[in-house]
A and B are shown apart, each in its own frame.
Chain A
């Protein structure tokens, strides 16, 4: 059942990314391009995504996940060095190619050699990340 719900969530996530235009790198770069022909679509995607999720967080209060276990707990929020350096690095890559991890996978079937190259490089980066993280500790 957990796997079934995971497939469902992944499927809806993929369909949502496709429908919203987030697998089109030019739309993402258009959102980031404040000095060019600025494209606000991504703000609508974010807005549309935040609303159901805010309701879900509210509903989760005092309850348990339907399939067992516990909802995630979050420690004292700390905006540490790793959060900021990592986010800046992510932003640079996101700006350069117009892809983030979700759309990179969602578009792999039609993204051509460029999409495959990006995904392989991203996975390599994820493999290297623990080493980089250790240097920042």
Chain B
């Protein structure tokens, strides 16, 4: 198997296991946009410590791994207006839809949730169309 696919499967297994731990121990759905967004709009301050602890792990561990073993660049575009627009769309969209790739994707699809499946179809569809238009038609990204 292609090395990248194998790493994808391994990393995915780690992601799924982390979500399983969060569910079985803490009793919560591990959705990144919900855990972060609840602190930003103050709707989730009731368990702010748990949220901050989760965010700390998410930020610090990749930083340590990158420091020790070197990291691969994110290769994000240098086009700042595009980045700002993208960030705003991701922030607003995930909160209105109540989930992102982790919440609707991993946690939703794994319990065959209708909302999770519908959301995943629409964000992958919209993402695909966006790449086609902005990369192949307009040549911006």
Q: Which residues of A contact B (CB under 8 A)?
A: 2-27, 29, 32-36, 39-57, 59-60, 64-72, 74, 77-79, 82-102, 104-112, 114-115, 117-130, 132-133, 136
**Residues in chain B near residue A49, CB distance under 8 A:** 12-13, 15-16, 19, 105-106, 110
Q: For this complex, into which size category does the number of interface residues on chain B fall?
A: 35 or more
User: Can you list 14 A-B contacts (CB < 8 A)?
Assistant: A10-B55, A33-B128, A34-B132, A55-B20, A79-B115, A83-B122, A84-B119, A85-B93, A91-B123, A91-B130, A96-B82, A99-B90, A101-B100, A130-B43
**Residues in chain A near residue B5, CB distance under 8 A:** 40-41, 44
CB distance from B31 to the nearest CB of A (A): 9
**Residues in chain B near residue A36, CB distance under 8 A:** 131, 135-136
Q: Which residues of B contact A (CB under 8 A)?
A: 4-30, 32-33, 36-37, 40-41, 43, 47, 49-51, 53-63, 65-66, 71-78, 80, 82-98, 100-102, 104-107, 109-111, 113-115, 118-120, 122-132, 134-136, 141
CB within 8 Å for A24 and B75 given contacts A29-B131, A36-B136, A102-B58: yes
- Which secondary structure dominates where chain B touches chain A? helix
Report whether B90 and A100 are in contact in the complex, using a CB–CB cutoff of 8 Å.
yes
The docked-state distance in angstroms from the alpha carbon of A32 to that of B135 is 11
Report whether B18 and A16 are in contact in the complex, using a CB–CB cutoff of 8 Å.
yes
Report whether A88 and B93 are in contact in the complex, using a CB–CB cutoff of 8 Å.
yes
The docked-state distance in angstroms from the alpha carbon of A102 to that of B34 is 10
A-B pairs under 8 A by CB, number:
482
Smallest CB-CB A-B distances: 9 pairs = A125-B91, A48-B12, A20-B11, A121-B87, A91-B126, A86-B97, A10-B57, A65-B27, A93-B89
CB distance from B46 to the nearest CB of A (A): 12
Residue from B28, B75, B126 in contact with A92 in the complex, judged by beta carbons closer than 8 Å: B126
**Residues in chain A near residue B127, CB distance under 8 A:** 32, 91-92, 94-95
Report whether A12 and B87 are in contact in the complex, using a CB–CB cutoff of 8 Å.
no
Report whether A91 and B85 are in contact in the complex, using a CB–CB cutoff of 8 Å.
no
The docked-state distance in angstroms from the alpha carbon of A5 to that of B102 is 18
Report whether B32 and A100 are in contact in the complex, using a CB–CB cutoff of 8 Å.
yes
CB within 8 Å for A12 and B21 given contacts A79-B114, A86-B98, A100-B32: yes
